Amino acid sequence: MSWTNAPAPDPVALFLLYLDAQRGYSPATVAAYGTDLEGVHLFLERRSKGLHAPAEVTKVDITAYLADLHRRSLAKTSVCRKLSTLRAFYRFLRQRKMVVEDPCAALSNPKLPKCHPKVLNVDQALHLVETEVAPDPEGLRDLALLEVLYGSGLRVSEALGLDFAHVDLDQQLARVLGKGRKERLVPLTGPAVERLRRYLEQRGAFGPAAREQAVFLGKRGGRLTRKQADRIVKAMAVRSGVPVSISPHTLRHSFASHMLQAGADLRSVQELLGHSRISTTQRYTHLDLAQIMRVYDASHPLATKRNGDEDN
């Protein structure tokens, strides 16, 4: 076969391989990028173009694609994500001299409404992790998982990715693998260590898991999945009477908010959460301000008058 006649490598496949091999993104994240780019490609095919020839795509094409998303009433957050995927794709191509122009360069993101993460208050969080369960392997596992998620502020993928070698119960530390495969050490609370010890004593009851190094196991002895973890957290919330719909990530948000409320500095919380940018951590400071205003309105002698004046 002549190298000069060899087909050119697929730009999208090269980009996804880069995200996996060099950026260390999770399979789910790489798949999400692939899905976004497939949607763009299918739209461009209707215009006799495609991402197999990215240099032929123009700003007009991308603007038409965004307009199509708007016509289909796609959420602004989803539009922003898809545009962000395209920007990352073309940035990758430009860095490798595969294209000269970036058709996304002059496009702006839709303006998003400000929204803050859903969190539990301190009483709700403590009530949740103190839920009464049967002292069997599943109940002990569920409590240990809640303690790790809330007590250390881990992403659910980080908690489920824990292996025996990553956890030092004597030192009360865990080594977690975060986004981009970046490692960091996080402290484990006393209750988390106690519940992990109790759970690990009965972990073998989940089945033939002699070769499985995962800390948290499912019924069949394999590593606990995200869907299973989500069901566990929701079921525990119902059992404890927490009056909100929550997910494992709610516990991470609650951890961050409660740490800041207790006086932790922003940089320390950033390190504990594994955020690469402090601006990501700063969104939790808005939650603290909202709490301060509620306390002010409930306590200050002039607060009632102030609120009354605003209504007139």
Which residues are tagged catalytic? 155, 179, 249, 252, 275, 284
CB neighbours of 152 closer than 8 A, spacing ≥ 6? Answer: 174, 186, 187, 188, 189, 192, 255, 272
CA–CA distance, 236 with 242 (Å, rounded to integer) = 9
Q: Are 188 and 169 in contact (CB under 8 A)?
A: yes
Angle of the 137-152 helix axis to the 226-240 helix axis, nearest 10: 90
CA–CA distance, 110 with 107 (Å, rounded to integer) = 10
Phi-psi group of 172: left, alpha or beta (phi > 0 → left; psi -120 to 50 → alpha; rest → beta)? left
DSSP state of 121: -
Q: Which residues pair with 174 in a beta bridge?
A: 167, 186
